[in-house]
């Protein structure tokens, strides 16, 4: 088995006098210009040496450092690329958030399917790493939101160039390390203080040698050389235990942390003062935090030492804090008192920036996916704000960061935050009751509330661990809160859609793979409904039909929420109905009722009425979401769609319900575009050119593969789409919104109809209105007012009936000829049969209990039913009594000790059961004693 030692031996190191060393503390190998260096330079092997002693010639702010990096690589023939959104699921379906710059080019560029937008390129990519959420504020260096400055080069081996979308070698390890060292020198760093630690990289089925670049104790860059792919027969065993072999492509994947570089240039105590100075000053003043000179010195020195504090590596945070306190000569409680409020301030600043990125890039808080992660960050930030005593509204704090980041949708961002804060308050009211109940359960057991219960409380109710701790403490119950709690919660929700959905099994996979891709005629002329083709293969399907593959077809296969075309395939001898059409790896399969014969020529005829209705609804879907974005905001994005022949629906991401006025405006704008009768055009541009021109909002209906993508344009609306469409917007006919509903938190479903389906739907609504008018004997215009009047009268009469029932129950509670009274547990029990419904039975039982008596009531109105009520302080369990009574009539029942109900089907035994009630009461009382 080969190792990677030789992969790290570069001519550059020999030419410039580098030495390969083994760290005396951790044992890692590293490269350095300092022949006398013994340690690798990274904490905890070494401490930060740049705090109060900046590592570069100039003090730079974030934007200045970013520009210095990008300009440096532009001067070296790299093309500057605009950053992608932080929501990686806008262009890929296997992850949710962008966690590294290489995410922008996965999977299509890294696997060679499509070329990169430039080669080589440089970028400063905003990223969010939820796994760092618990470290933020505590370590002095972790930020959940950060920019990864990077340069990338995509290379392919010479003998396989024809198989990939890029060819040849741009540059590799030698130039990558040289670029890095020369950047340090250009910024005025001392090269002798730079170390490059050998640290192989593994991820996503790929691997390669990598250098962690350390300067004055700070990890400032990672240089990854992605050259291996996982292979059970591979020659290289990596740190994940798997074996790997060489890839045909090899990629330079670097990452330079913008915030870290800025921090080192300023030499502040923590990274937060370097990147959020104004916001930290604002938060500190607002929270009323004041420090003496002595206290400031302690906090400053603690920050310098906190590089060793990392929740990922240190199991006991308090123990690590204790070590820092010992080194500073202060009590750990004193240190905690000084630093914890500042740690909270730092986290608020960072989380506000994270929210600005998320909401600014159009993520809508919800209970799933990226929306869940945004909600989690928002609620944690709100809790931190309340804990430290900041009285500024959360939407104002997020807006401060959104303004600094240059977002133009700041009003929407603030509106989303305000809406979410209100939802959070409502959630806390409901969830608090569950926490109290849980605390009571664990108080009885004497055990602490475990980690999995905490995570479930947060996942289901949004309850933060410290709130659980407060409530549990009131009842003397301990709580097991892990230091990485929020990272554990995020892990539940960070998989992309592909990982969740899985893949469908492809029928006849081996034989289909041997067939050529089907020529898709429906893209050449979407209005045409007939064609001729040759039958390439026929498979017997499991349900007795036949799966037919043609060399070309006009039949549209199911996809993108559009159902498949139906129709017929005919020869001179037979006509087969096409019941379904599917596509598998470019091969279109027609499910038909008969076998047209392999090698035969067939005439295909599409069901034209069905096709036209589906085309109208598909184009109308584009028009509706375009109109919704105009009315509701640019954050609106498609969460799913389904087109049908009678109606269609589109699910959109939006943070609140849609009002009737907004529905009318969406419908109005949609029909304006229909009446403009603009052309509906299709074209196949280069993928990167389309993304540059239109952004990732192209991918409302999914993410298509390939170098060229099909674009459908209707007026100003532009979307990548594989479906069939009308020729002009006027061909839609009309669009009628039928219904809107919230199908889950953060997702609204709009159901609509187009063309003749819209007329049919409107007529159905009118028919219902006229039927209602006939029933009410009024004109259609008067139906709403009349219905409201009838409803109010119905409610009033219902209330009268309830009042009369209560009066009747009170009257009967005074006793009756058929009521038995016995003494039980020091009080009177009334046993009585009243053949009434359950509501009246409960009302009478309540009336008896209010008089301080036990009520045992039975009814034969619907089978045999019982209600038992017990006054406070009386030692009789109503649930036990009802259970025994119900058993005697062939049923069951139960409830709390003070009020219970039940019954059974055998009404003939009702009287016998009631006759046994005194004995049952005495037996229950005796068991209580």
Q: Which residue positions form the known binding site for Zn(2+)? A: 618, 622, 721, 725
* 465 vs 457: CA distance, rounded Å: 9
Do you find a cis peptide bond into 615, omega within 30 degrees of 0?
A: no
Burial of 317 (0-12, 13-18, 19+ CB in 10 A): middle
Listed in sequence order, the DSSP H helices in 361-484 are 369-388, 394-405, 410-445, 451-461, 465-474
For the chain, the first-to-last Cα distance in angstroms comes to 77
CB-neighbour burial class of residue 922 (10 A; exposed 0-12, middle 13-18, buried 19+): middle
Nearest-angstrom CA–CA distance, 254 and 102: 8
**Cross-sheet strand order for the sheet of 680-683:** 680-683, 711-714, 717-720
Assess contact for 210 and 235: CB atoms under 8 A.
Answer: no
Instruction: Find out whether 195 and 208 touch, Cβ atoms under 8 Å.
Output: no
Binding-site positions: 618, 622, 721, 725
CB 580 within 8 A of CB 558: yes
Q: Count of alpha carbons within 13 Å of 195, Cβ hemisphere only?
A: 27
Question: What's the Cα-to-Cα distance from 201 to each of 107, 153, 311, rounded to whole Å?
Answer: 18, 17, 21
Which tokens belong to 410? Answer: 């700041």
Say which residues have a Cβ less than 8 Å from residue 74's Cβ, sequence separation at least 6: 80, 122
Rounded CA separation 142/726 (Å): 52
User: Strand pairing partners for 391?
Assistant: none
Distance CA 631, CA 463 (A): 34
* Cα(334)–Cα(332) distance, integer angstroms: 5
Separation between Cα atoms, residue 723 and residue 641, nearest integer Å: 12
**Of residues 127, 124, 128, the one with CA closest to residue 149:** 124
Task: Give dist(CA 46, CA 231) in Å, integer.
Answer: 37
Q: b vs e for 196-228, b when ≥16 Cβ sit within 10 Å of the residue's Cβ?
A: bbbbbbbeeebbbbbbbbbbbbbbbbbbbbbbb
Report in angstroms the alpha-carbon separations of 852 from 744, 848, 874. Answer: 47, 7, 9
- Rounded distance, CA 858 to CA 902, Å? 10
Report CA-CA distances (Å) from 898 to 822, 855, 876, 879, 894.
Answer: 18, 10, 8, 8, 11
Q: Is 656 exposed, middle or buried (0-12, 13-18, 19+ CB in 10 A)?
A: middle
Radius of gyration over every alpha carbon of the chain, rounded to an integer in angstroms: 36
Integer Cα distance of 81 and 272 in angstroms: 27
């Amino acid at each position: 088995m080969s190792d990677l030692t030789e992969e790290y031996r570069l001519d550059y190191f020999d030419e410039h006098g580098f030495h390969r060393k083994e760290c005396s503390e951790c044992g890692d190998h590293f490269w350095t210009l300092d022949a006398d260096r013994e340690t690798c330079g990274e904490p905890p092997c070494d401490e930060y040496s740049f705090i109060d002693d900046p590592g570069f010639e100039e003090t730079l702010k974030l934007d200045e450092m970013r520009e210095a990096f990008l300009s440096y690589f532009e001067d070296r023939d790299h093309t500057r690329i605009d950053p992608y959104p932080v929501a990686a699921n806008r262009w890929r379906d296997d992850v949710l958030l962008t966690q590294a710059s290489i995410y922008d080019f996965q999977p299509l560029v890294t696997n060679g399917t499509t070329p990169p937008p430039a080669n080589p390129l440089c970028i400063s990519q905003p990223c969010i790493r939820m796994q760092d959420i618990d470290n933020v504020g505590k370590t002095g260096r972790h930020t959940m939101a950060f920019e990864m400055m990077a340069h990338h080069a995509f290379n392919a081996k010479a003998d396989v160039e024809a198989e990939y979308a890029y060819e040849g070698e741009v540059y590799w390890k030698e130039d990558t390390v040289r670029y890095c060292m020369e950047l340090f020198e250009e910024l005025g760093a001392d090269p002798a203080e730079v170390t490059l630690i050998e640290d192989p990289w593994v991820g996503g089925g790929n691997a390669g040698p990598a250098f962690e670049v350390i300067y004055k104790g700070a990890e400032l860059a990672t240089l990854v050389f992605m050259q291996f792919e996982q292979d059970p027969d591979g020659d290289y065993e990596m740190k994940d235990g798997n074996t790997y072999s060489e890839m045909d492509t090899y990629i330079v994947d670097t990452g330079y942390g913008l915030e870290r570089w800025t921090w080192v240039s300023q030499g502040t105590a923590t990274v937060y003062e370097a990147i959020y100075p104004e916001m930290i000053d604002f938060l500190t003043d607002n929270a009323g935090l004041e420090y003496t000179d002595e206290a400031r010195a302690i906090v400053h020195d603690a920050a310098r030492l906190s590089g060793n504090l990392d929740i990922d590596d240190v199991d006991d945070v308090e123990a690590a804090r204790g070590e820092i306190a010992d080194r500073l000569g202060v009590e750990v409680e004193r240190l905690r008192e000084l630093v914890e409020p500042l740690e909270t301030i730092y986290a608020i600043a960072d989380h506000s920036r994270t929210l600005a990125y998320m909401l600014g890039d159009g993520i809508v808080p919800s209970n799933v996916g990226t929306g869940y992660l945004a909600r989690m960050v928002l609620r944690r930030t709100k809790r931190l704000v309340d804990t430290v005593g900041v009285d500024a509204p959360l939407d104002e704090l997020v807006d401060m960061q959104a303004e600094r980041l240059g977002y133009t949708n700041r009003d929407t961002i603030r509106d989303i935050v305000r809406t979410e804060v209100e939802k959070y308050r409502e959630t806390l009211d409901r969830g608090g009751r569950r926490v109290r109940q849980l605390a009571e359960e664990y108080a009885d057991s004497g055990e602490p509330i475990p980690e999995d219960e905490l995570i479930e409380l947060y996942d289901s109710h949004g309850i933060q661990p410290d709130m659980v701790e407060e409530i549990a403490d009131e009842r003397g119950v301990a709580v097991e809160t892990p230091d990485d709690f929020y990272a554990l919660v995020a892990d539940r929700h960070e998989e992309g859609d592909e990982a969740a959905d899985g893949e469908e099994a492809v029928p006849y996979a081996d034989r289909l793979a041997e067939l050529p891709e089907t020529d898709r005629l429906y893209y050449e002329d979407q209005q045409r409904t007939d064609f001729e083709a040759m039958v390439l293969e026929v498979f017997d399907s499991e349900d007795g039909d036949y799966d037919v593959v043609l060399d070309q077809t006009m039949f549209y296969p199911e996809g993108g929420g559009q159902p498949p075309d139906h129709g017929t395939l005919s020869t001179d001898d037979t006509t087969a109905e096409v019941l379904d059409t599917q596509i598998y790896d470019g091969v279109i399969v027609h499910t038909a009722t008969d076998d047209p014969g392999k090698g035969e020529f067939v005439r295909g005829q599409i069901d034209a009425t069905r096709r036209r209705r589906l085309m109208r609804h598909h184009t109308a879907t584009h028009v509706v979401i375009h109109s919704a974005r105009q009315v509701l905001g640019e954050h609106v994005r498609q969460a799913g769609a389904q087109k049908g022949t009678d109606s269609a629906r589109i699910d959109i991401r939006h943070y609140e319900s849609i009002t009737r006025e907004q529905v009318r405006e969406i419908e109005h704008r949609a029909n304006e575009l229909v009446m403009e009768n603009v052309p509906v055009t299709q074209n196949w541009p280069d993928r990167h050119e389309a993304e540059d021109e239109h952004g990732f909002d192209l991918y409302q209906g999914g993410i298509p593969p390939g170098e060229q993508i099909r674009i459908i344009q209707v007026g100003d609306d532009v979307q990548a789409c594989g479906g069939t469409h009308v020729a002009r917007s006027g061909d839609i006919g009309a669009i009628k919104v039928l219904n809107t509903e919230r199908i889950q938190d953060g997702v609204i479903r709009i159901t609509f109809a187009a063309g003749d389906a819209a007329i049919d739907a409107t007529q159905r609504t009118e028919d219902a209105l006229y039927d209602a008018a006939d029933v009410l004997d009024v004109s259609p215009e008067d139906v709403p007012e009349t219905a409201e009047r009838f409803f109010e009268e119905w409610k009033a009469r219902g209330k009268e009936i309830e009042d009369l029932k209560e009066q009747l129950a009170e009257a009967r509670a005074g006793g009756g000829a058929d009521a038995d009274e016995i003494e039980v547990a020091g009080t009177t029990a009334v046993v009585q049969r009243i053949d009434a419904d359950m509501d009246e039975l409960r009302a009478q039982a309540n009336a008896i209990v209010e008089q301080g008596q036990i009520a045992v009531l039975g009814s034969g109105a619907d089978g045999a039913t019982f209600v038992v009520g017990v006054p406070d302080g009386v030692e009789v369990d109503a649930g036990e009594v009802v259970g025994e009574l119900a058993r005697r009539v062939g049923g069951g029942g139960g409830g709390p000790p003070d009020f219970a109900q039940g019954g059974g089907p055998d009404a003939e035994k009702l009287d016998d059961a009631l006759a046994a009630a005194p004995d049952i009461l005495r037996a229950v009382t005796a068991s209580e004693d």
